[in-house]
Amino acid sequence: MIKMSARSDCSKREATLIRTLAVVFALVTVSFFIMILGHNPISVYISMMDGAFGTGYRLLETLRKSVPLIITSIGISLAFRLKFWNIGAEGQIMMGAMGAAFIALNFPQLPAIILLPLMAFTAMISGGIWGLIPAYFKARWKTNETIFTLMMNYIALKFITYLQYGPWKDPAALGFPKIPNFSQNAVLPDIFGLHAGWVIAIILVILSHIFINYTQPGYEIEVVGGSENTGRYAGMNVNKIIILTIFASGSICGLSGMIEASGVNRTLSVEITRGVGYTAIITSWLSYLKAPVIPIVCILFASMIQGGTFIQMAFQIPQSAAQILQGAILFFVLGSEFFIRYKISFVKQNIPEA
């Protein structure tokens, strides 16, 4: 018989080896698919690395794609530590971007030193409120936060669509459904060739690590995430912890929306998220919800996205093929967690004779 049992003896070295082998097996598996398309897998993989890091411009593009991933992953990991499955980062990013756009479009003449912090503050409040709604229902009536937060993504999308095609539509766009561009005062400045969002991302990583590991609220999140009953037994206000933590999670995701709207798009549109909210769910899990690991995983994942875009042009490989590579790596890495947490053993079953 095959017996599966939990394992607690897997060292960090063994876990790293298992995950590394998972990536290798994913690359080998996809290599067969690439050969079917008539290309040399090694050349394709080298080109992906070149497309992500080959020049200064490509490196900046990779880092630019990683910034919203890092910030959103930090926000999602905060909720996941509480065992609150926040699938609504997409909506929280959109609402944060909408709040920032409201300030940018209505107060374009304010100096940047006032306008940008005001946009960030409004974005965080907007994203936090969007996360607060399902958190309140979860704390008050024990609703399913997975479905709740997912459905709110579509409500946020319809809000942006309404504004883009209605009240905020640019009259100078000749009928094209577009929201006006932000004034220069509302655009994040560049630091070393990349918008200042990367500095914010680094600060958030450091603050998140300190908050979770060295503060009482961080400890309370860990306790309640492990067991709500334990938290209540220890005298913690579980509902308050849930509401405040998810508000903070949504606020961080909303800040990501402000950075994308101000630093990259320089306006608001329905494509503001580009799926970052869903991708960050994966990068959060691959980082084991550890703030110092999140930037590494997000940069590697962003390089895979950037490299996938490059090989589409270099080898005329369709976008779906590049996504297959990304999906295969994720599938194998996530699958490797089974062998880290569980062990398989073969047990001989003795069946007595009749």
Q: What are phi and psi of 37, to 5 degrees?
A: -75, -5
Q: What is the structure's pLDDT at 151? A: 96
Q: Does residue 51 lie in a domain region?
A: no
Structure confidence by residue, pLDDT tens digits, 40-98: 999 988 998 999 999 999 999 999 999 999 999 999 999 999 999 999 999 999 999 99
What are the C-alpha distances in Å from 213 to residues 67, 195, 206, 343?
23, 29, 11, 30
Q: What is the structure's pLDDT at 326? A: 73
Q: What is the structure's pLDDT at 351? A: 57
Q: Does residue 265 lie in a domain region?
A: yes
Provide the residue range defining the domain that includes 268. 63-293
Of 232, 236, 276, which Cα lies nearest the Cα of 253? 276
Q: Does residue 135 lie in a domain region?
A: yes
Q: What is the structure's pLDDT at 9? A: 75
Of 337, 346, 163, which Cα lies nearest the Cα of 267? 163
Q: What is the structure's pLDDT at 18? A: 87
| Number of other residues whose CB lies within 10 A of the CB of residue 86 | 30
Q: Does residue 139 lie in a domain region?
A: yes
* Residue 130 CB partners (closer than 8 Å, separation 6+): 88, 91, 92, 95, 96, 152, 156, 250, 254
Q: Does residue 147 lie in a domain region?
A: yes
**Total domain count, the chain:** 1
Q: What is the structure's pLDDT at 354? A: 53
What are the C-alpha distances in Å from 208 to residues 123, 275, 281?
19, 23, 17
Q: Does residue 56 lie in a domain region?
A: no
Q: Per-10-residue mean pLDDT for the chain, 354 residues long?
A: 76 83 88 89 91 93 96 97 95 98 96 97 98 94 94 96 95 91 96 96 97 96 93 94 96 98 96 93 88 95 88 81 77 83 74 58
Q: What is the structure's pLDDT at 108? A: 95
Q: Does residue 36 lie in a domain region?
A: no
Q: Does residue 347 lie in a domain region?
A: no
Reported pTM: 0.91
